[in-house]
Amino acid sequence: MINDLWYKTAIVYCLSVATFMDADGDGIGDFQGLIGRLDYLQGLGITAIWLMPFQPSPHRDDGYDVADYYGVDPRYGTLGDFVEFTHGCKQRGIRVLIDLVVNHTSDQHPWFQQARQDPASPYRDWYVWSKTKPANAADGVVFPGVQKTTWTRDAKAGAYYFHRFYDFQPDLNTSNPAVQAEILKIMGFWLQLGVSGFRMDAAPFVIAAKGAAIKKPVEHYEMLRTFREFLQWRQGDAIILAEANVLPGEDMRYFGDTGDRVQMMFNFDVNQNLFYALATADTKPLITAMKATEPRPATGQWGLFLRNHDELDLGRLTKPQRQAVFDAFGPERNMQLYDRGIRRRLAPMLDGDRRRLELAYSLMLTLPGTPVLRYGDEIGMGEDLALPERNCARTPMQWSSEKMGGFTQSDKPVLPPVSFGAFGFQHVNVSSQRRDPNSFLNWTERVLRMRKELPEIGWGQFSIVKTSQASVLAVRYDWRGAAVVVVHNLSAIPGEVRFKLGLQDPEPGFLVNLLSDDHSKAEAGGKHCILLEAYGYRWFRIGGMDQLGHQKAIVQDRPGRR
Ligand code: NOJ
């Protein structure tokens, strides 16, 4: 039972084939290159890979403009290479999730081409049309500053088509049963080739009613149930991880009250407030976000992340909060994007400060949910702000100090590796860090190993432990008679922190430090007193363990038990 819900205790690693490793020397990453790096990923300790889009595409939105859902872009290899890849992952116990981009297609997709050319084509109704330009065409653009409208006229069709994102990404009419059937077919296809699930791109837009007459978005949540049911029939352990940046109250509509919709969602609310906490050492809004996103069905799970391939979206913070994050992590205009976020990589945002990087990673690994790492963050890669929009944080993986960071033999890489400053591949690369026992890479490997031994975090109930310092966040997890408490000092000021764990604990007076030797014995009144360094963190198991810090007994599986 515990392991059947594999995503509850997974460590996900997100990467783009295009920028990970180039095997054939054409400057573009490919599946053969990625296959050659699977041992590296297994060694790092991740248990699932989330692949960004790799299907044939004109690549005007980094592959999020799909031109054929049933193929592999020839730049990356063939379907045969893809199956070699999923097989290689399976051999190493690594699951594969792929992006499912079905809110829209590329305008080059044959469906759209037929739809625009022929009003009688069955594909006409696969898209969303209007004879005239809707009055609200300027509302709801996703990329303000770059995108001006959500309705664009197509001369061939003699009509306007709806596009939530860029104009080369016409929205599919997802209310059309034929489109829904096609979405299931796409999922079925990739399941057959070895994937364990899908990151559903732009989930709220996929399930929204679309059309010129729609004034306020109405979501058809039951579509999510249809997708889930299909997956369960085809492959019982397959999941959907929804990209849905929605308000906390709406989460349950995505999970479903009985857990009958998506299995996972990214926790955008915690993400934004986590960055606010890192910027200001004020933990209160983060605690509020954690509590607001606490309700979820027993089978539901959050995806916890720091940075991803998009901008760090701070749109849900208050104006002063957002400004505080901008001031701390992206003060220059060029570092900000779409009037709401920061387009930088994590390490430069934190000035490459190892203490803050460990703190951020430690938080990502111990906040409620399943951690989702971004490639390159395990070595502290930086960005190239000379590249446009989000591309600045999508540069090639830095494998070594060789030419092109060891990513390719070609002189014309798909994007230039970062080759300047403190984050250039000459200084920041896998090859040198794997030889250095104290490197960030080896630190990451060690904490991932320990994180995998803490099923309490993925499965358990969390509670906030009151501490004597407002800048120290202490979170406790309880699960099947075992418990852990993780403590993080968000501030630059070292100091003593005191807290008391409830009497119901197993041996509450003794905390075993899981990452080093300084265990904690409670004082006479039952309080623990921990001396935390600036940005210090501790992972403790609360009593009841053997000398290795393992819990002594795992309570037997019982169906339906959390
Ligand atoms: C969300 C993806 O994360 C982003 O990169 C993309 O541009 C949009 N969806 C459109 O597909």
Task: List pLDDT tens digits, range 166-191.
Answer: 999 999 999 999 999 999 999 999 99
Percentage of residues of the chain with pLDDT beyond 90: 90
Beta carbons of 260 and 301 less than 8 angstroms apart: no
CATH 1.20.20.10 fits 110-162, yes or no: no
Query: Would you give the DSSP letter of residue 53?
Result: P
- C-alpha 166 – ligand 1 centre gap (Å): 10
Rg (CA), the chain: 24
CATH 3.90.400.10 boundaries in the chain: 110-162
Q: Which residues contact 460 (CB under 8 A, 6 or more apart)?
A: 477, 478, 479, 480, 483, 562
Using CA atoms, how far apart are residues 489 and 94, in angstroms rounded to an integer?
33
| Four-point Cα dihedral 408, 412, 414, 417, nearest 10 | 60
CATH 3.20.20.80 boundaries in the chain: 6-103+174-451
| E strand spans, 4-71 | 12-15, 48-51
* ∠ CA 39-41-44, rounded to 5°: 110
**What tokens were used for 53?**
């889009």
Q: Is the pLDDT of residue 559 over 60?
A: no
Q: Exposed/middle/buried for 91, CB within 10 Å: 0-12, 13-18, 19+?
A: exposed
pLDDT, mean of residues 139-144: 90
- Residue to substitute in 64, 172, 199 for testing ligand 1 pocket (most ligand atoms within 8 angstroms of CB): 64
Using CA atoms, how far apart are residues 463 and 290, in angstroms rounded to an integer?
10
| Four-point Cα dihedral 418, 423, 425, 428, nearest 10 | -150
The residue whose C-alpha atom lies closest to atom 10 belonging to ligand 1 is 64
- pLDDT score of 507: 76
Q: What residues form DSSP beta bridges with 152?
A: 161
Q: By mean pLDDT, which of 377-386, 399-408, 424-433, 535-544 is the weakest?
A: 535-544
Q: What residues form DSSP beta bridges with 176?
A: none
Q: Is 102 in the pocket of ligand 1 (CB under 6 A)?
A: no
Q: Domain 458-542 maps to which CATH number in 2.130.10.10, 3.40.50.2020, 2.60.40.1180, 2.40.30.30? A: 2.60.40.1180
| E strand spans, 429-536 | 461-465, 472-479, 482-489, 495-500, 510-513, 520-521, 527-532
Beta carbons of 446 and 453 less than 8 angstroms apart: no
Q: Which residues contact 471 (CB under 8 A, 6 or more apart)?
A: 281, 282, 283, 489, 490, 491, 493
Q: Is the pLDDT of residue 544 over 80?
A: no
CATH 2.60.40.1180 boundaries in the chain: 458-542
What order of strands is seen across the sheet that includes strand 312-313? 312-313, 341-342, 336-337
- Residues annotated catalytic, as ranges: 201, 243
DSSP for 350-382, written as a single string: TTT-HHHHHHHHHHHHHSSSEEEEETTGGGT--
DSSP for 127-179, written as a single string: B-EESS--TTTTTT-SSBTTB--SEEEETTTTEEEE-SS-TTSPBB-TTSHHH
Coil, strand, or helix at residue 302?
strand
The 10s digit of each residue's pLDDT in 198-248 is: 999 999 999 999 999 988 879 999 999 999 999 999 999 999 999 999 999
Q: Is 201 in the pocket of ligand 1 (CB under 6 A)?
A: yes
209: amino acid identity, one letter = A
Return the closest-CA partner of residue 89 out of 193, 1, 231: 193
- C-alpha 364 – ligand 1 centre gap (Å): 22
The 10s digit of each residue's pLDDT in 476-495 is: 999 998 999 999 999 999 99
Q: Is 54 in the pocket of ligand 1 (CB under 6 A)?
A: no
Using CA atoms, how far apart are residues 433 and 73, in angstroms rounded to an integer?
32
Mean pLDDT of the chain: 95
Q: Is 202 in the pocket of ligand 1 (CB under 6 A)?
A: yes
- C-alpha 201 – ligand 1 centre gap (Å): 7
Q: By mean pLDDT, which of 90-99, 447-456, 475-484, 496-505 is the weakest?
A: 496-505
User: With bands split at pLDDT 50, 70 and 90, how would you rate the model's confidence at 554?
Assistant: very low
pLDDT, mean of residues 405-409: 98
> Quick one: fold of 6-103+174-451?
TIM Barrel (3.20.20)
Percentage of residues of the chain with pLDDT beyond 70: 96
Instruction: Please list, residue by residue across 374-387, b when 16 or more beta carbons sit within 10 angstroms of its beta carbon and e when fewer do.
Output: bbbbbbbbbbbeeb
- pLDDT score of 548: 55
Using CA atoms, how far apart are residues 65 and 479, in angstroms rounded to an integer?
43
